[in-house]
Amino acid sequence: MNDKGWVLPYLKENKRLLIFVVLLGFLTVFAASSLMYTSGYLISKSATRPENLLMVYIPIVGVRTFGIGRAVSRYIERLVGHGVVLRILSKMRLKVYQLVEPQVLHPRSKLKTGDVLGILADDVERLQDIYLKTVFPSLVSLFLYLLAVIALGFFSWPFALLMAIYAGVLVFLFPFVSLLVMKAKVQQIKQGRHVLYGRLTDAVMGVSDWQYSGRQMEFIEEYERQEHQLLLLEQKRNRFVRWRNSMAQVVIAIMVVSMLAWTANESSIGAIDYTLIAAFVLVLFPLTEAFLPLSDAVSEIPSYQDSIDRLSGLELGDKQAADKQDEHQIVPNGEPAVLELQHVSFQYDEYRRVLDDVSFSITQGEKVALLGPSGAGKSTILKLIEGVVPPTNGSITLNGVATHGMSASISQWVAVLNQHPHLFDTTILNNIRLGRPEATDEEVYEAAKQVKIHDLIESLPNGYETQVHEMGSRFSGGERQRIALARILLQDVPIVILDEPTIGLDPLTEKELLTTMFDVLKGKSVLWITHHLAFIHKADRVLFLDQGEIALQGEHEHLLKTNERYQRLYVLDRPFDLTT
């Protein structure tokens, strides 16, 4: 199996703990085998009605010791094994997030919501089975197989080789056949699940359109048809698994009969004591029980490979990151933050040019309004500043350092308040503290007071411990914006981008919110992206973006007096006066 960086590095990083888990797994099976061996001997010896209890005292102690030892070693094995796997999964999830985040924000991203859901809900979780269901059981089984054959060889090498052949059917033949038979089915099942993930997310996001079009039954029927096809594949797989397990039980029965015949013969010629017959037979059961999971473990390898290929595809999609500037470039600290766009152009493809030779700068403390109709390129400028995508031509720098290439540290310098800030399903306190996790409660309260939301929060039954609910549904649009603004104040960065934060609000709420924003952001550089001119007088400078170019720029009062186009736009966009 080609791990492509998703298995082997984690094995190397945690090799000591993984070896310890394998040893614990071996110790568990060894204790189980010893328990059965000792129990068989104890039963046989007790059946002879020994004259003294001391004759069976040691086997009794052995049974108790191995019984307790099996339970303890199994518990420790599970505790350590799952602990190390969860540690590996946490790093995998972080790696996946770092790969997914820039791609889902990229305007040319091919990742759909269903793809992301499948990766996070299925592929990453699937890789934990590599360790729990494949790596650990396989190593334990192979170790036990060799040890059991060698141990039996001390009594009879010919019989040991015969039993090695029988056990080899369980350890090697059945897993190999399972891999050949199940490979196509497992891949089809896994890919089918990803298709269903995609269709389900598309349906959820477009549920109203399905209903309004009257085609909801058509979608349900098609979804159920694909789900039925997936069910048929799973039924075929289950039938094969049942057949294989039945054959495995036949092999185990043959091993038991062979062991019984051999021990009986050895006992008759005096090679072994007759009290060991049951011991030798019973020890087969925990050993074969350790061999049986190998077939399932190996048959899942195609699904692991499919997950690894999908995750590796994220890395290929992110190979633009290899062309980034050094992530370790540091924006000079202690200097005023200067954001500068120089001759920036950007296009999605050869037919769609969004920005064309855009140049402007924002100095520390300056408030610049970026106006323009929908589709003018305002949101693209935001993505360029955040470092999500590189410009096609030109450069975007923060104190001389290109923002594309410092995406991991851009949040230390730039904060964004967008149209619909996300509030998490936790307390108000935690939502605000997200801006600076180490902030004290008092600092959170102070930030809330600055944005004039403190009194409202305090009036709630649980105050700052009030649950926000999913997406902040219990708050109005203006209240959600104030909570998000308090989060930005805690973040305390020199540059804040306001991406149409008042869209959808009534004029009075918009006025109050913008007044609060500009008051609390004094001293910070502000880029206010908007599509209309209400309250534009609050900006120090105005840029008007039209069809990817800066069509107008200057101070509001100057443009209002000297530019006829700006005058018309201002009059049309301000039917009434709420700015005073």
Backbone phi, psi, residue 524, to 5°: -100, 155
Residue-wise pLDDT tens for the chain (580 aa)?
665 678 888 888 888 988 999 999 999 999 999 999 999 999 998 888 877 777 788 889 999 999 999 999 999 999 999 999 888 888 888 888 777 766 665 555 556 666 676 777 677 777 888 888 888 888 899 999 999 999 999 999 999 999 999 999 999 999 999 888 887 777 777 777 777 767 777 666 666 666 656 667 777 777 788 888 888 888 888 898 899 999 999 999 999 999 999 999 999 998 999 989 999 999 999 999 999 988 888 887 877 877 787 777 776 655 544 444 444 444 445 568 888 999 999 887 666 678 888 999 998 889 999 988 877 888 888 888 887 778 888 988 888 888 876 655 677 888 888 888 888 888 899 989 988 888 899 999 999 999 999 999 999 888 999 888 765 667 888 888 899 899 999 988 899 999 888 887 788 888 888 888 888 888 899 999 887 777 888 889 999 988 888 988 999 888 888 888 888 888 877 644 444 4
Per-residue pLDDT at 53: 73
Per-residue pLDDT at 325: 41
- Cα(39)–Cα(84) distance, rounded to whole angstroms? 34
Per-residue pLDDT at 330: 45
- Catalogue the E-assigned strands of 322-422: 339-349, 352-362, 367-371, 393-398, 401-402, 414-417
Q: What DSSP letter does each residue of 229-241 carry, written as one string? A: HHHHHHHHHHHHH
Q: What is the pTM of this model?
A: 0.59
- Cα(149)–Cα(164) distance, rounded to whole angstroms? 6
Domains of the chain by range and CATH? Answer: 8-322 (1.20.1560.10), 339-413+495-575 (3.40.50.300), 421-492 (3.40.50.300)
Per-residue pLDDT at 320: 47
Per-residue pLDDT at 75: 95
Per-residue pLDDT at 324: 42
